[in-house]
Structure 1
Amino acid sequence: MKTHNNFDERFEFAGNAKTLSLVGIVLGVIGIAFGFILGGDHIQRVYSNLLLMGYFFVCVCIAGIFFSAYNYVAQAGWSASLIRIPQAFAKVLPIASVILILIITAGLLHTHTVTEHGKTETVPYLYAHWAAHGITTPGSENFDAIIYGKKGFLNIPFFYAVLIVLLGIYSFLGIKMAKFSEAEDTEGGMANYDKIFKYACIFLTIFGFTFPIFAFGVIMSLEAHWFSTMFGWYNLAAMHVSGLAIITLVIIYLQKRGNFSWLNENHLHDMGKLIFGFSIFWTYVWFAQFFLTWYANMPEESVYFYKRWEPEYKWWFWLNIVINFVTPVLALMSRDAKRMRTRLTWVCIILIAGHWLDYYLMIMPGTVESNRGFGVEEIGIFAGFAGLFIFTVLTQIAKAPSLVPKKHPFLQESLHHHR
């Protein structure tokens, strides 16, 4: 594209990106098959990694809607010319949601036998702490008084209702905002912008109250005896940083392909500021949750961190805070650093790996009995979901009528953005 005024530009999804995304999907299938063929605790690792990546996939797509919504509500002009990228994330959320629900369903239906404290019982591969047979039935040999007290939330019908309703609402609102934005290109005027503003306000209101509930159900309930009222906000911070990093990588990739040439170092600077700021917020919530638990020293809370201080996880526990806090502080503190494409690219890649490790530490200690480090299951399933994400998001970007919202009321402000 010769000039930023060529608003009819389209993106063609082909070449190496498409090939690599398909290769990644194949590697994911191989990783899943490998675990099931070996059997034993490898199957548990497959389900845990599927849940990790399914949740990560959903969270990044939700982050795209979140980014779009707060920029519209704030009436931010700088982001108008890049908004098609997070809108593509929104369009992929229904696919990611179905995949997550299928993973959870398979993990609940597929059972195995475990022996604990001399007692053998049959439990599902996912959510065994509260979904095992008889666990909330008084008089049952599997009865658990703590889970019984939480059965109003921890029961399969309510669990599915929350999952389906929340993901359905997020998907509906995200897609409606993207559709109104595309309609704005052909219809002009302020009507569609006003609709997006209204839907963005509705989304942020619902999202702010319900995302912690979503995180409680999908992740925190894996260790159902433990609870933290900060866990939802901790997940929201991780979700947002991951989403911002991936949006930034997509921008840089598309610019290397010759698209989005109207975006300049000032737009990247603002993305870098958001990544830096919310990495600090993630660190604040991480430390607050850890410090308050350590200070209170209550067994029902400290058991969560005790597991993560076992020898096989302790190294990763501390590496998590180093990657996700120290990296942006050292690499993105200065103004100039946020404007360097190569540096920003590497920081985004490191933070994506760092927050994968963050989710890994949320899930694995509560589901996998013995940790043998990263193996075929972790690498293969990560590659599979990365390939699926690239394929679905770039496909949606290629389908967009134009890569810029041509009649966005703040478009000129974005095109002439300067810091």
Structure 2
Amino acid sequence: MANEKFDFSAGLKKKVFIAFAIGAVMLLVGGLFPQTNEHHGDDHGSDHATEEHHDAGSDSHGDDTHSFNGAEDFEAVTVADSAEAGEEHGAGWFKRFKVDLWINNVYFTGLALIGIFFFALQYAAQAGWSAYIVRIPLAMGQWIVPAGILMLLTWFFVNHDVFHWTHSNLYDPTDSHYDELIAGKSGFFFFGEGGGFPTFFIARMVIFFVLWAWLFTKLKNLSLAEDELGGDGYWFKMRKWSAIFLVIFAVSSSVSAWDWVMSVDTHWFSTMFGWYVFASWWVTGLAFITLVTVLLKEAGYLPQVTSNHLHDLGKFVFAFSIFWTYVWFSQFLLIYYANIPEESVYFVERFLSDKYSPFFFINIILNFIFPFLVLMTRDAKRLNVFLKMVCIVVMFGHFIDFYLMMTPGTMGQNGFFGFTEIGMFLMFGSAFVFVVLRALSSYALVPKNHPMLGEAKHHHI
């Protein structure tokens, strides 16, 4: 059974291609019948008025008044944020397309990263229970190279529409659009003066992907060499390289969260944001690993995996759904009771907006209440039907989470969730699944010379 290989059959490939085609059709329908409210900006006055209010808002960061006064302040916050979002007046479907492209890039890059992280964590922790399933997260890491290429190309395509800080006039003190706060952060994006090409930002992106891809390749080659040559030497080498990856991941995952997500709302900041994005990526990756494991078992693969292994995977999804909620609530509560305008604006524009407030609550329901209630019992963590249901909900729920992180800061009050968003998600998801399944079919499902196979075989909880 150790030589068992996954057969990525023509029928399965056809299903993946059909899912991709459905996504493409939905994206096309979304483009032909855009449902964004393209003239919502008129309700707030002209662009000139918006810019004036934004300038006034930029000067108010030193104000001692740290409270909002109901609807009037929300209206002011919305207008100011609209300017930061890249002049949303007249924003249409094409901008939605760009924003969704970036959201999906970040979401699926996270899945690939978590695959490598999970694999490395098992070796660094000398875990034995997971020996039968470590090839699944390893296959997820295969997306990291396509993700890096897509991320770099996408940034050049979407930069001004997604990242307000890329506009050069924000850094010119003589320009009417000059933003002192953003100009003060220029050192984080540029090597030289702000307003040019963001060399420092792009350099970080390239360095991170090169390091991730290199370490993934190193770990994969060691794992496959272990299959061929045996011995525990490769296991010790993987422990060493796994520890190196974990240290690099700890830094790079947080910085990439600041770069790719938090900088969308350039005026806003949160010291917990790196943890928050990691928690969202982590529980999504765990859900994907669990779902693939269950589906493989149902297809007749991985007979060695028992209800005890599934129980552990279910506990991970259950526990880290709670962990994500803890980080979400901690960030929300700290900002809520401090009530500092430049911090509170992030939640005000999501919680009080008729566009985003439903998603604010859907986010909590899908990513905490549902998995918490369904996976609470021991039996639920061992039943395929419950695991599949929760994992699908959690993966979609955290896509909503990333949508909520980035769309308000880019689209302002022109944001919408419809065919465009679902279609793009299906297309990226199909491409990701294709790469993962093709990688999974290229080597044995179970590492046949893994020294912990005996422990995995007798794992019982």
* Distance in 2 between residues matched to 1:374 and 1:38, nearest whole Å: 13
Of 364, 371, 374, 2:407 maps to: 364
Of 412, 416, 419, 2:454 maps to: 412
2:200 is aligned to 158
Relative to 1, partners in 2 of residues 1:36 and 1:152: Cα closer, same or farther, differing over 3 Å? farther
2:299 is aligned to 257
1:137 is aligned to 172
Q: Which region of structure 1 is more displaced relative to structure 2, 334-343 or 20-29?
A: 20-29
* Distance in 2 between residues matched to 1:230 and 1:97, nearest whole Å: 25
Of 115, 119, 125, 2:161 maps to: 125
1:231 is aligned to 273
Of 422, 425, 441, 1:398 maps to: 441
Q: Which residue identity lines up with residue 289 of structure 2 in the other structure? A: I
Of 166, 174, 179, 2:216 maps to: 174
Structure 2 residue 18 is the aligned partner of structure 1 residue 23: yes
Deviation at 1:34, TM superposition (A): 5.3
Deviation at 1:33, TM superposition (A): 5.0
Deviation at 1:313, TM superposition (A): 0.9
1:118 is aligned to none
* 1:267-325 Cα distance to aligned partner (Å, 9 max, x none): 11000111111111111110010000011111110011111021111111012112211
Deviation at 1:174, TM superposition (A): 1.8
Relative to 1, partners in 2 of residues 1:102 and 1:157: Cα closer, same or farther, differing over 3 Å? same
Q: Which region of structure 1 is more displaced relative to structure 2, 239-248 or 33-42?
A: 33-42
Q: Does structure 1 conserve the Cα–Cα contact (< 8 Å) formed by 2:27 and 2:421?
A: no
Q: Does structure 2 conserve the Cα–Cα contact (< 8 Å) formed by 1:27 and 1:381?
A: no
Deviation at 1:415, TM superposition (A): 2.1
* Distance in 1 between residues matched to 2:109 and 2:409, nearest whole Å: 21
Partner of 1:80, secondary structure, is coil
Deviation at 1:87, TM superposition (A): 0.5
Structure 2 residue 54 is the aligned partner of structure 1 residue 12: no
2:97 is aligned to 46
Of 224, 244, 261, 1:202 maps to: 244
2:260 is aligned to 218
* Distance in 1 between residues matched to 2:114 and 2:307, nearest whole Å: 22
* Distance in 1 between residues matched to 2:316 and 2:165, nearest whole Å: 38
Which runs of no fewer than 5 residues in structure 2 stay unpaired?
A: 35-90, 191-197
Of 298, 305, 310, 1:268 maps to: 310
2:376 is aligned to 333
* Distance in 1 between residues matched to 2:298 and 2:384, nearest whole Å: 11
Q: Which region of structure 1 is more displaced relative to structure 2, 306-315 or 15-24?
A: 15-24
Deviation at 1:92, TM superposition (A): 1.9
* 1:113-166 Cα distance to aligned partner (Å, 9 max, x none): xxxxxxxxxxx2120x20012211221232110111100113321111111111
Q: Does structure 1 conserve the Cα–Cα contact (< 8 Å) formed by 2:227 and 2:449?
A: yes
* Distance in 2 between residues matched to 1:33 and 1:153, nearest whole Å: 37
1:147 is aligned to 182
Q: Does structure 2 conserve the Cα–Cα contact (< 8 Å) formed by 1:24 and 1:388?
A: no
Q: Does structure 2 conserve the Cα–Cα contact (< 8 Å) formed by 1:230 and 1:289?
A: yes
2:79 is aligned to none
Relative to 1, partners in 2 of residues 1:35 and 1:107: Cα closer, same or farther, differing over 3 Å? farther
Partner of 1:81, secondary structure, is coil
* Distance in 2 between residues matched to 1:319 and 1:31, nearest whole Å: 22
Q: Does structure 2 conserve the Cα–Cα contact (< 8 Å) formed by 1:133 and 1:142?
A: no
Structure 2 residue 427 is the aligned partner of structure 1 residue 384: yes
* Distance in 2 between residues matched to 1:25 and 1:152, nearest whole Å: 41
* Distance in 2 between residues matched to 1:355 and 1:205, nearest whole Å: 25
* Distance in 2 between residues matched to 1:30 and 1:165, nearest whole Å: 36
Listed as ranges, the matches of 1:55-74 within 5 Å are: 55-74=106-125
Deviation at 1:372, TM superposition (A): 5.9
Deviation at 1:369, TM superposition (A): 3.1
Larger-Rg structure: 2
1:303 is aligned to 345
Relative to 1, partners in 2 of residues 1:150 and 1:31: Cα closer, same or farther, differing over 3 Å? farther
Partner of 1:368, secondary structure, is helix
Q: Does structure 2 conserve the Cα–Cα contact (< 8 Å) formed by 1:279 and 1:328?
A: yes
* Distance in 2 between residues matched to 1:196 and 1:105, nearest whole Å: 36
2:126 is aligned to 75
Q: Which region of structure 1 is more displaced relative to structure 2, 204-213 or 227-236?
A: 204-213
Q: Does structure 2 conserve the Cα–Cα contact (< 8 Å) formed by 1:126 and 1:367?
A: yes
Relative to 1, partners in 2 of residues 1:133 and 1:24: Cα closer, same or farther, differing over 3 Å? farther
- The normalised TM-score by structure 2 is 0.83
Of 317, 320, 327, 1:285 maps to: 327
Of 93, 97, 100, 2:151 maps to: 100
2:386 is aligned to 343
- The normalised TM-score by structure 1 is 0.91
Partner of 1:224, secondary structure, is coil
Deviation at 1:371, TM superposition (A): 4.2
Relative to 1, partners in 2 of residues 1:42 and 1:201: Cα closer, same or farther, differing over 3 Å? same
Q: Does structure 1 conserve the Cα–Cα contact (< 8 Å) formed by 2:142 and 2:435?
A: no
How many pairs were matched up? 397
2:398 is aligned to 355
Deviation at 1:60, TM superposition (A): 0.5
Identity of aligned residues (%): 41
* Distance in 1 between residues matched to 2:218 and 2:298, nearest whole Å: 30
Q: Which region of structure 1 is more displaced relative to structure 2, 163-172 or 357-366?
A: 163-172
* Distance in 2 between residues matched to 1:347 and 1:275, nearest whole Å: 9
Q: CA RMSD in A?
A: 1.6
Q: Which residue identity lines up with residue 130 of structure 1 in the other structure? A: W
* Distance in 1 between residues matched to 2:141 and 2:330, nearest whole Å: 31
Q: Which region of structure 1 is more displaced relative to structure 2, 371-380 or 241-250?
A: 371-380
Relative to 1, partners in 2 of residues 1:303 and 1:272: Cα closer, same or farther, differing over 3 Å? same
Relative to 1, partners in 2 of residues 1:90 and 1:372: Cα closer, same or farther, differing over 3 Å? closer
Q: Which residue identity lines up with residue 374 of structure 1 in the other structure? A: F
